[in-house]
Amino acid sequence: MMLAYSTNAFVQFTLVETIERIAAIGYEGLEIMCDRPHLYPPDFDADDLAAVTAALDRTGLKVTNLNGFTLFAVGDTYLPSWIEPDAARREIRIRHTLDCIRIARQIGCENVSIPPGGPLNGMDRNQALALFHKGLEQVIPLAEELKINLLVEPEPDLLIERTSEFLPFIRDVQSPVVGLNFDIGHFYCVGEDPSAAFSELYEWVRHVHLEDIADTRVHRHLIPGHGAIPFEKVIRTMKELGYDGDICVELYPYTDEPEAAGRESLDYLKRLPIEW
């Protein structure tokens, strides 16, 4: 398992600067935010991508995932979403995901994570699921062609929040490239034991997000060790099941101190009595 750090804590820096800073902390990999000010596809031409690739080559960092979740460049954390009533808004999300898949192939990344639908905002759940599947059907062929994993990330207050919602969804998907970005904190927020959830969903997990959450289970990402998640138990479960994918620390609330937060997280995780 490789420890990576998400660039979404580094919004005060360019992507190339962020790559260099994450490498200096001591991480082996990074997840790249596919949104401004980082790798928002419409902003990047061949020269920009070459500069990113050169920085990755210099530092030796592996890109574990392209985070296609947020769309602040044209909306916010969730919107435009896969399930909005307006077809033109849904098309923005579809185009963005297609662009992320193409860039993943160009920079040698195997994974693109996406939001699970979006806020229901009063929409009937079955109607929302139908729209989500319809949107995925428009991006799955390219993901299959380019051999990129398309990873749904359950999140509190969205269409898919918990294990009991992800399982029927994934069983209706007819493609092996669709999997799960397992966010440890998100499952904790919705009242689940992350170890038990990981065991139940293991066959679909292709990438993992890691952050701590307070014992209130309020959805606010904290530095590991600052909350209540039993990380030793969770990571032991992952290892016992044979998970050999990557784990990415995601601390987007720490934009004023991303390096200090990342360094403390790495130190904490390395001190756990676990062989990484």
At 3-49, the pLDDT tens digits run 999 999 999 999 999 999 999 999 999 999 999 999 999 999 999 99
- pLDDT the model gives residue 167: 98
Averaged pLDDT, 112-135: 97
Q: Which residues have CB under 8 Å from 35's CB, separation 6+?
A: 8, 67, 70, 71, 72, 73
Of residues 208, 207, 81, the one with CA closest to residue 149 = 207
Measured distance CA(19)–CA(161) in Å, rounded:
31
- pLDDT the model gives residue 1: 80
pLDDT band at 275 (very low <50, low <70, confident <90, very high): confident
Report the chain's mean pLDDT, rounded to a whole number.
97
**In DSSP terms, which residues pair with 212 in a beta bridge?**
222
Averaged pLDDT, 200-216: 98
**pLDDT tens digits for 136-149?**
999 999 999 999 99
